[in-house]
Amino acid sequence: MHGSAWCRRYSDLVDAWIAELWAEVAPGSSGVALIATGGYGRAELCPQSDLDLLLLTTSTSQGEALASRLWYPIWDQGLKLGHSVRTLNQALELSRDDLDTATALLAVRHLCGDPSLTEDLREGALVQWRHGAKWAIEELAENVEGRLEKLGEVAFLLEPDLKDARGGLRDVHALSWLDLAQPVLSDLDEVALRDAYEILLAARVELHRRSGRRGDVLLLQEQDAVAEALGVADADALMKNVVTAARSIAWTSDFTWHRVQASRRRRLIRERPREVAPGVVLEERTVRLAPTCNVAGDPAIALRVGLAAATQRAFIDRAALERMATEMPMMPKPWPDEARWLLTDLLMVGHPAIPVLEALDQLGLVHRMIPEWEPCRSRPQRNAYHRFTVDRHLFEAAAEAAKLVDRVDRPDLLVLGALFHDIGKGYPGDHVEVGIQMVDRIAARMGFADEEVAVLVSMVRHHLLLPDVGTRRDLDDDGTIRSVATQVGSVETLELLHALTEADSIATGPAAWGQWKAGLVAQLVRRTAHVLRGGDASEMVEVPFPTAEHRALLAERRLIVQGDAGTLTIVAPDRPGLFSRVAGTLALNGVDVVDASAHTEMGMALEVFRVKSVFGDEPNWLRVRADVERALAGRLALRARLAERARTYPAPKATNARPKAPRVVVDNHTSDLATVVEVEAPDGIGVLYRITQALLECDLDIVSAKVQTLGSDAIDAFYVRDGLGAKIEDHAYLAEIERAVLHALAGEL
């Protein structure tokens, strides 16, 4: 038993207990009624919901005396009680200008006492609500907008508020209250809302039951338990159901509120319909099908309607959507030229195209054109790094790409590459490899020439190349630049990938793109473009390392520790473990390493760390310098102190549904001068210290490092050489390095 059935059963049990309590404390009472309101009034009492009770009385003094005998036994049972004592006039007066009170009285249910009082309240509240429809509608609309601004959307939150976020249960309540003030919901609307509501209500009930706490935010760590309780395959399937339901509610809500606002504007100004495209007319900020439109013979009609709606910033008429969903044929093979141009033009409108695409998708019209799209619909990406579902991410990426079309020679390929770059995520297997096969088919079907198809395939194949290399590899290494140039193949493709990288990253979430990452990618693109134009990689080193200032510090031949503006520079006598000791000291001081470079000459070592404070403030450099000096002198018990810090530090909040197992990848191809050891592991205190200690035990010298955190994962790359300053070519040695790093990450500090 789940959802509404569970709530009704629980409400019935509470009703029966309250009836017994009433018989004990109010036998023979007259002129009084005990009434359930709000969620309890709807018989939707969830395990941790408040019990909302109104004692309606003809005499306030009588009601107050009775209330004290009722409320205390309820509190004694540990139930959460929302209570009030009112006369009929008081209740109606309070609801006249208070939205919460007014809507609570729209769902009253008689429990005990005089039923005529309950009926009087029900009728009075409804009459007053309808009489004040203008105020009610304005207040409801403001409430809906306020909740969206404050709480976001259920469909696009890692941990959604099932009740109050956009697309949640409260939006259905708001539509039902709106319908009482001004009938607006069709039978189809009510069926769709009821089905979606049931999914969210069932999740809310099990969330309350499994967590034992108040609140309606479905936390990441609770999603598996809720899925199991509901008999769903796993948490991914649960969240896909939740997202699909929330999007259905949000779409119905948006469409309904638009229709209400349009009808109010129509009373003031009547616009004449005007044709904005063949078979498409615009009226009252709504795009409709012309009466003469031949939908059954026009596979591109949805794109024509969509482009008109996006460019006019208008809604698509519900009847038009439903007619296209029923009559529009599948797109032929190959596509008509017009259809390809229409899709490209729609995507290049940018963000105004997103609600249009989602409206088309809601009725299955995107699937009619691109059947491969279906598995991406409402597919969650359950980590803090990705802000959106797969399908919404692709729409967002295309919209961001539309801002960058002036940077490339083929804007059409840019926006389509953005739309398709992650389409493989809807399917089993490596999403890049799957996506390559799909885009090869889709692009050919759309009518692109073979060389254009090859560019789109390359964009999908390499859409992670620039950000991965830019943030994980040494951009001063000529081999790295030559490798990227070989993979990309042309300046034109490089420019498309550069724009796609920015669009994809911004669409992913706020943590995925920033000034530092943008600068690294731009540097990589400049050097790679130089090679693709026939230049040599060594000619484009932008900031040589070590700099003249660094060499001056090395010449002093003494210990120097300088920290300022996010950079820690250390000069010290060269010794094994220098990098590891500094990394451990920084972790002890709550300082994260972002990247690092190292250089040795004449027995002295230079190490430069770009850092940021875990807590967001500038590090306490005096303390950091003092601790580094102590650590290098062997006077700081780093391992013991880090272990103590790890035990006392609060566990990080879960931000990934499936924490990755540590992984070590050895790359001997990218660099001519060093072996790259790349490590992925769940982030935590001292992770960098553990890894570098393992590399030290393998007698490796760290030449440079790229260190970053994506969501809750650390992704670190180390350029290392053996004790003789050479790359590691021995396969057995490489296997031991991997074993040492994995062991270091698996054990305790």
Q: What CATH number has the domain bearing residue 75?
A: 3.30.460.10
DSSP labels, 86-147: E-HHHHHHHHTS-HHHHHHGGG-EEEEE-HHHHHHHHHHHHHHHHHTHHHHHHHHHHHHHHH
Pair 374, 506 in one domain = yes
CA of residue 530 relative to chain centroid, distance = 37
Q: Are residues 669 and 648 in the same domain?
A: yes
- Round to whole Å and give the CA distance between 119 and 122: 5
Residues 261 and 282 in one domain: no
Residues 225 and 315 reside in one and the same domain? no
Other Cβ atoms less than 10 A from the Cβ of 83: the count is: 15
pLDDT for 62 equals 80
Nearest one of 463, 596, 565 to 521, comparing CA atoms: 463
Identify the DSSP state of 254: H
One domain for residues 359 and 303: yes
Domain count, the chain: 4
**Residue 79 pLDDT:** 87
Give the model's pLDDT for residue 737: 96
Cα–Cα distance for residue pair 115/126, rounded to 1 Å: 17
The letter for the amino acid at 53 is L
By DSSP bridging, strand 567-573 and strand 560-564 are: antiparallel
In a domain? residue 438: yes
H/E run at residue 517: helix 515-532
In a domain, 533, yes or no: no
Do 195 and 56 fall into the same domain? Answer: no
Eight-state DSSP code of residue 449: -
Task: Name residue, tokens 């070592």.
Answer: 605
Which residue among 80, 115, 131 closes a domain? 131
Q: How far apart are CA 307 and CA 350, in angstroms?
A: 11
Contacts of 730 (CB under 8 A, 6+ apart): none
Which residues have a Cβ under 8 Å from the Cβ of 632 and sit 6 or more positions away?
559, 572, 578, 581, 582
Segments forming the whole domain that contains residue 694: 549-746
678 DSSP β-pair partners: 665, 717
Q: Using the CB atoms, write b or e for 322-356: b if 16+ within 10 Å.
A: ebbbeebeebeeebeeebbebbbbbbbbbebbbbb
**Domain-located, residue 397:** yes
What is the signed CA dihedral for 111, 116, 119, 124, rounded to 10 degrees?
-130
CATH code for position 252: 1.20.120.330
Predicted local confidence at residue 73, as pLDDT? 93
Question: Residue 270's pLDDT is what?
Answer: 66
CA distance 721 to 702: 7
The pLDDT value recorded for residue 408 is: 97
- The three-class DSSP label of residue 605 is strand
Whether 631 and 718 share a structural domain: yes
Query: How would you label 668-681 residue by residue, b for 16+ Cβ within 10 Å and e otherwise?
Result: eebbeebbbbbbbb
Same domain for 570 and 645? yes
Burial class (CB in 10 A: 0-12, 13-18, 19+), 150: exposed
Token pair belonging to 274: 């005007």
Bridging pattern class, strands 32-36 and 109-113 = antiparallel
User: Is there a domain that residue 100 lies in?
Assistant: yes
Residues with pLDDT less than 50, the chain: none
Q: List the beta bridge partners of residue 570.
A: 561, 607
- Whether residues 185 and 325 share a domain: the answer is no
pTM of the predicted structure, to 2 decimals: 0.89
Tracing tokens 């967590």 back to the chain, one arrives at: 211
- 156 with 28, same domain: the answer is no
CA 11 distance to own-chain centroid: 35
pLDDT at residue number 659: 66
CATH of the domain at 735: 3.30.70.260
How far apart are the C-alpha atoms of 393 and 33, rounded to whole Å?
53
Residue 569 lies in a domain: yes
CB 394, CB 377: distance < 8 Å = no
